[in-house]
Chains A and B, each alone.
Chain A
Amino acid sequence: MADGPDGIDLMRSRIQRGRRTPPPVRGPGPPTLEATATAADGAKVGETNLAPQVAARKPKTLRPTTTTAKPWRPEVAHGAATANLALRVRQPLDDHLAEIVHAFRREGVRTSKVELVEMLLWELPQTHTQLRARLAEFRDAAARGGDAPLVGSGERRRS
């Protein structure tokens, strides 16, 4: 019919263009866990990227507890019933959670906000003393405006 460019060839050239591998990332690279360190626990996270950390992840060691009793964690079976917490959290924490999910996804690890929240709940400190300390630390960093004293009656009695 016409001697102009064939549509099939043009579309195939688009496919070829789409196949190009992206250039290597310059500078510090993708978002790291460093950036995701929460103000809440204030702990320094290693300077390595997320990828090596994910690759070299080891089984979690339990936090040292003051008691000698066997650490207890809730059992979360696959088919366990779910509960709707209907949480409203502050925007930066939600953004932070989204960053983590996307950083993992770039590394090929699929997770979700719900899974991360469940994980945090699952690994809450074993003892009330530790939990209270964490809560105090969190309130210092990100107070919600609640003025309820953290020092329990037991500690008051001790002091």
Chain B
Amino acid sequence: MQGSGRDSEGAGEQVGMTPLITVAAAKGGVGKTTLAYELAAALDGCLVDLDWDAGGATRMWGFDPASRQRAPLLDGFEKGPEAPAPRPRRRPHQPLLVPSHPDLSASRIDADLVADCLVAWCPQLSPYYVVVDTHPGANPLTDGAIAAADLIVIPAVLGMREMTALEQNLAELSHHRVLVVPTMVPSVPPRRLVDRLAAVAGGRVTVAPPISEHRWLRRRLRRAAVVSQPNPGVRLQIAAAEFRSVATVIKEALDG
């Protein structure tokens, strides 16, 4: 997918336009969903979940699409960009959510339609930011979200195979604005892989402040976003500060 129409027109930087941030990665398990969820909360934005897996942001938010008769996101794509945007769901201390649906995996929606819908829906979904969580790998939904994005955020784990995947990912997205966010970074990161990440980024791509390896995040039961949970403990404050610093870099990138 080459450079988006929205990027080339600079529409995302126009006054009154809601910037669209797509969180994407070629590999799974690198922290896309967590990052998208926390960024949407930190940016006061709306999270559009295009990941149809049961372990995605929709279930994390507390919405069970299997128990609902309607699939608002799928309906929205089928009605097209002229129709109103799906109404986002709202809960305290959680980001606004346009939930995913398992049927998205079997849908044959064109990438261009996805891109057009997302661009048209952005101002209706949130006055601030729209964050899109994607399914790993190449598929029409992810391609559409990438094409429509003002900024593509790629979470990157410091691992050998992950670096190879990131290298390929960045080569494919050479015409897009990309921000790499190192995730699950140990307290002392491996020098070899940090050097490799620096080489892969090559000065062309900005590398955001790292998100540390917070193992407790996987075991967490609360649905509130880390950045907006009331009465946070020490470790929650540390994690929230890291997510907020990434959000600040995104704001500076999109506003500046």
Instruction: Point out residues on A near B: beta carbons under 8 Å.
Output: 1-8, 10-12, 14-15, 17-18
What is the distance, in angstroms, from B184's C-beta to the closest C-beta of chain A? 12
- Taking A3-B252, A8-B201, A10-B209 as known contacts, 4 extra A-B pairs with beta carbons closer than 8 A to each other, sorted by chain A number, are A1-B179, A2-B253, A12-B194, A14-B185
Residue of chain B at shortest CB distance from A5: B209
**Interface bits B233-256 vs A (CB < 8 Å: 1, else 0):** 000000000000100110011001
Task: Tell me, yes or no, whether B218 is within 8 Å of chain A by CB.
Answer: no
Q: Mark B158-190, 1 if CB is under 8 A from A, else 0.
A: 000000000000000000010111100101110
Residues of B contacting A5 with CB < 8 Å? 209, 245
- A17 to B252 Cα, complex, angstroms: 28
Residue interface bits B197-212, CB-to-A below 8 A is 1, else 0: 1100100001111100
Interface size on B, residues (CB 8 A): 25
Q: Which of B187, B191, B207, B252 contacts A7 (CB 8 A)?
A: B207
Are B189 and A14 neighbours in the complex by a CB distance under 8 Å? Answer: yes
Give Cα A32 to B206, complex, Å.
51
- In the bound complex, do residue A11 and residue B180 qualify as a contact, i.e. CB atoms below 8 Å apart? no
Shortest Cβ distance from B177 into A: residue: A1
B residues in contact with A4, CB < 8 Å: 209, 245, 248-249, 252
In-complex Cβ contact of B182 among A1, A7, A15 (8 A): A7
Residues of A within 8 A of B180 (CB): 7
Given A1-B177, A14-B188, A15-B191, are A7 and B210 also a contact pair (CB < 8 Å)?
yes
The residue in chain B whose Cβ has the minimal distance to the Cβ of A18 is: B188
